Structure 1
Amino acid sequence: MAVYFITFAVALAITLIATPLVKKLAIAWGVVDQPDHRKVHTRIMPRMGGLAIYLAFAVCFFLFVPQTSEALGIFIGGTIIVLTGMLDDKYQLSPKMKMLGQLIAAIVVIGFGLRVEFINLPFDDDQVYFAWLSIPVTIFWLVGVTNAVNLIDGLDGLAAGVSGIAITATMIMAFLMGNSLAIILSIILLGAVIGFLFFNFHPAKIFMGDTGALFLGFNLAALSILGFKQLTLIAFIVPILILGVPLSDTFYAIIRRIVNKKPISQPDKNHLHHCLLSMGYSHRKTVLIIYGISALFALSAVVFSQSTLWGAAMIIGLVLILLELGSEVIGLMGKKNRPLLRIARQIKLKYRLANRR
Structure 2
Amino acid sequence: MKYLALLICFIIAIILTPFVKKIAIRIGAVDQPNQRKIHAKIMPRLGGLAIFISFMIGFIIFNPDSPYFWPILIGAILVTATGILDDLYELSAKVKFFVQFVAATIVVLGGAQITFINLPFGETLHFGYLSIPITIIWIVGVTNAINLIDGLDGLAAGVSSIALITISGLAISLGDGFVAFVGFMLLGSTLGFLLYNFHPAKIFMGDTGALFLGYMIGVLSILGFKNATLFSLIVPITILGVPLLDTFFAIVRRFVHKKPLYSPDKLHLHHCLLKLGFGHKQTVILIYSMSALFSLAAIIFTKSTMWGSTITLFALILLIEIVVEITGLISDNYRPLLKLLDRKK
TM-score interval for Structure 1 and Structure 2 normalised by the shorter chain: over 0.9
Report the equivalent of 2:50: 52
Instruction: Tell me the distance in 1 between the aligned counterparts of 2:321 and 2:278.
Output: 21
Report the equivalent of 2:283: 286
- Name the SS of the counterpart of 1:335 in structure 2: helix
Alignment check: 8 A CA contact 2:84 2:207 kept? yes
| Equivalent runs, 1:167-246 vs 2, <5 Å | 167-229=164-226, 235-246=232-243
- Per the TM alignment, residue 276 of structure 1 is displaced from its structure 2 partner at its CA by 0.7
Identify which of 301, 323, 331 aligns with 2:328.
Answer: 331
Report the equivalent of 2:339: none
How has the CA–CA distance of structure 1 residues 55 and 328 changed in structure 2, closer, same or farther, with 3 Å as cutoff? same
- Name the SS of the counterpart of 1:42 in structure 2: coil
Instruction: Tell me the distance in 2 between the aligned counterparts of 1:245 and 1:336.
Output: 18
How has the CA–CA distance of structure 1 residues 216 and 90 changed in structure 2, closer, same or farther, with 3 Å as cutoff? same
1:313 pairs with 2:310:
yes
Instruction: Tell me the distance in 1 between the aligned counterparts of 2:132 and 2:152.
Output: 34
1:158 pairs with 2:169:
no
Alignment check: 8 A CA contact 2:112 2:223 kept? yes
How has the CA–CA distance of structure 1 residues 62 and 235 changed in structure 2, closer, same or farther, with 3 Å as cutoff? same
Report the equivalent of 1:16: 14
Instruction: Tell me the distance in 2 between the aligned counterparts of 1:157 and 1:113.
Output: 33
Please tell me the residue identity of whatever aligns with 1:248: L
Alignment check: 8 A CA contact 2:225 2:231 kept? no
How has the CA–CA distance of structure 1 residues 130 and 230 changed in structure 2, closer, same or farther, with 3 Å as cutoff? farther
Report the equivalent of 1:66: 64
Instruction: Tell me the distance in 1 between the aligned counterparts of 2:80 and 2:93.
Output: 16
Alignment check: 8 A CA contact 1:121 1:233 kept? no
- Name the SS of the counterpart of 2:120 in structure 1: coil
Report the equivalent of 2:131: 134
Please tell me the residue identity of whatever aligns with 1:36: N
Report the equivalent of 1:7: 5
Identify unmatched segments of 5+ residues in structure 1: 339-357
Alignment check: 8 A CA contact 1:116 1:230 kept? no
Q: Provide, for residues 66-97 of structure 1, a one-character-per-residue CA deviation record: whole Å limited to 9, x for no partner.
A: 24221221122111110010011111001111
Q: Provide, for residues 118-171 of structure 1, a one-character-per-residue CA deviation record: whole Å limited to 9, x for no partner.
A: 2344324x5433222111011000000000000000000000000000100111
State how many pairs are aligned.
Answer: 335
Instruction: Tell me the distance in 1 between the aligned counterparts of 2:77 and 2:261.
Output: 28
Larger Rg: 1
- Name the SS of the counterpart of 2:68 in structure 1: helix
Instruction: Tell me the distance in 2 between the aligned counterparts of 1:50 and 1:336.
Output: 32
- Per the TM alignment, residue 265 of structure 1 is displaced from its structure 2 partner at its CA by 2.3
The root-mean-square deviation of aligned C-alpha atoms, in Å, is 1.6
- Name the SS of the counterpart of 2:329 in structure 1: coil
- Name the SS of the counterpart of 1:229 in structure 2: helix
Instruction: Tell me the distance in 1 between the aligned counterparts of 2:333 and 2:244.
Output: 22
Q: Provide, for residues 253-287 of structure 1, a one-character-per-residue CA deviation record: whole Å limited to 9, x for no partner.
A: 11222233433322111101001111111111111
Instruction: Tell me the distance in 2 between the aligned counterparts of 1:330 and 1:252.
Output: 12
Alignment check: 8 A CA contact 1:65 1:184 kept? no
Instruction: Tell me the distance in 1 between the aligned counterparts of 2:206 and 2:104.
Output: 20
How has the CA–CA distance of structure 1 residues 308 and 40 changed in structure 2, closer, same or farther, with 3 Å as cutoff? same
Alignment check: 8 A CA contact 1:50 1:208 kept? yes
- Per the TM alignment, residue 229 of structure 1 is displaced from its structure 2 partner at its CA by 1.6
Instruction: Tell me the distance in 2 between the aligned counterparts of 1:294 and 1:110.
Output: 27
- Per the TM alignment, residue 53 of structure 1 is displaced from its structure 2 partner at its CA by 0.4
Alignment check: 8 A CA contact 2:118 2:232 kept? no
How has the CA–CA distance of structure 1 residues 326 and 152 changed in structure 2, closer, same or farther, with 3 Å as cutoff? same
1:248 pairs with 2:248:
no
1:300 pairs with 2:297:
yes
How has the CA–CA distance of structure 1 residues 336 and 121 changed in structure 2, closer, same or farther, with 3 Å as cutoff? closer
Instruction: Tell me the distance in 2 between the aligned counterparts of 1:305 and 1:186.
Output: 18
Report the equivalent of 2:74: 76
- Per the TM alignment, residue 320 of structure 1 is displaced from its structure 2 partner at its CA by 1.1
Alignment check: 8 A CA contact 2:116 2:124 kept? yes
- Name the SS of the counterpart of 2:330 in structure 1: coil
- Per the TM alignment, residue 233 of structure 1 is displaced from its structure 2 partner at its CA by 9.0
Report the equivalent of 1:118: 116
Please tell me the residue identity of whatever aligns with 2:216: N
- Per the TM alignment, residue 335 of structure 1 is displaced from its structure 2 partner at its CA by 3.4
1:97 pairs with 2:95:
yes
Report the equivalent of 2:31: 33
How has the CA–CA distance of structure 1 residues 15 and 233 changed in structure 2, closer, same or farther, with 3 Å as cutoff? closer
Please tell me the residue identity of whatever aligns with 2:225: F
Please tell me the residue identity of whatever aligns with 2:144: N
Alignment check: 8 A CA contact 1:161 1:197 kept? yes
Alignment check: 8 A CA contact 2:253 2:333 kept? no
Instruction: Tell me the distance in 2 between the aligned counterparts of 1:67 and 1:86.
Output: 28
